[in-house]
Amino acid sequence: MLLLHGDMRTARSWDAVARDLCDQFHVLSLDSRGHGDSDWPTTGYNFAERAKDLEAFCDALNLRNVLGVGHSTGGVVMSLLADTRRDIFERLTLLEPMVTVNEKFQRMVSTRATSPRRTWGSRPELYDYLKAHRMTGRWREDVIRDVVAHEAVKLPDGRLDMKWSPDSMKWSEREGDYLDLKPIFRRLDIPILFISSEGRADGFVELDPVMAELPDFSMLKIRNTEHNMYMNRPDAISWAINAFVQGQEVSGTI
């Protein structure tokens, strides 16, 4: 099983999910380019280049018939690779990938490249910040501690920053990088579970016709979650992944 994070996260954001699944599966989690402990080059962040990175990783480890689990941008990248390399993925669990990406979306996210970066004086200070924040404060306690321990890096001045490169978000990497996953979902001949958070479920009504057309495409909503739902309720995500892999019907709301 291969887990792939989205923008501004790292492989270690999956730790709670991996702990739940590691007894049943051989779980791998990858730091994407510009994130975590992977290299941070100044370019190479469009969707096609990210898919090539993932393809190279899978080929280097001879990964075939993989159970793919991707969140946000990670889900987009897995879908793109599955479309061109049918031998790599056996089935996909996609946690709120962007179904359509247009100029408006890319301009919005690219502002993060130039926004001032918040830093923290210590790991306890970072923990207190995450606990008090209206979004991250809803993450499970062990997830917050994983983030504090593994997703922050010490800067030369001794302060802590999060482990993602602003180059991964800059406009020059995102201009013209637009897509629509619906045709890809229709082409893929593998089971797909699309998971949405309660906070954003209404944004995926465009997938209703896809689900109606494709017998192996199912959708699940996770209560009491936002976009990083696997950090809000890792137990629910782990259950859904395991049930889906075992061939059980997974749909509706949990």
Three-class HEC string of 184-227: HHHHCCCCEEEEEECCCHHHHHHHHHHHHHCCCEEEEEECCCCC
Across the range 202-217, mean pLDDT stands at: 94
Residues sharing a CB contact under 8 Å with residue 205, sequence separation 6 or more, in sequence order: none
Model pLDDT for residues 30-80, shown as the tens digit of each residue: 999 999 999 999 999 999 999 999 999 999 999 999 999 999 999 999 999
How far is it, in rounded angstroms, from Cα 236 to Cα 172?
37
Q: What percent of the chain has pLDDT over 70?
A: 100
78, burial (CB in 10 Å: exposed 0-12, middle 13-18, buried 19+): buried
The confidence score (pLDDT) of residue 199 equals 86
The confidence score (pLDDT) of residue 71 equals 99
Banded model confidence at residue 81, pLDDT cuts 50, 70, 90:
very high
Four-point Cα dihedral 41, 46, 47, 50, nearest 10? -10
The confidence score (pLDDT) of residue 72 equals 98
pLDDT greater than 90 at residue 207: yes
Across the range 179-190, mean pLDDT stands at: 97
Domain positions in the chain? 2-253
The confidence score (pLDDT) of residue 104 equals 97
Model pLDDT for residues 94-137, shown as the tens digit of each residue: 999 999 999 999 999 999 999 999 999 999 999 999 999 999 99
CATH superfamily of 2-253: Alpha/Beta hydrolase fold, catalytic domain (3.40.50.1820)
Classify 63 as helix, strand or coil. coil
The confidence score (pLDDT) of residue 122 equals 98
241 sits in which H/E element? helix 234-245
The first and second tokens of residue 66, run together, are 């993989």
The confidence score (pLDDT) of residue 192 equals 98
Banded model confidence at residue 202, pLDDT cuts 50, 70, 90:
confident
Across the range 83-96, mean pLDDT stands at: 98
Question: What pTM does this model have?
Answer: 0.96
What is the rounded end-to-end Cα distance, in angstroms, of the chain? 23
Model pLDDT for residues 218-227, shown as the tens digit of each residue: 999 999 999 9
Across the range 233-250, mean pLDDT stands at: 96
The confidence score (pLDDT) of residue 201 equals 78
The confidence score (pLDDT) of residue 112 equals 96
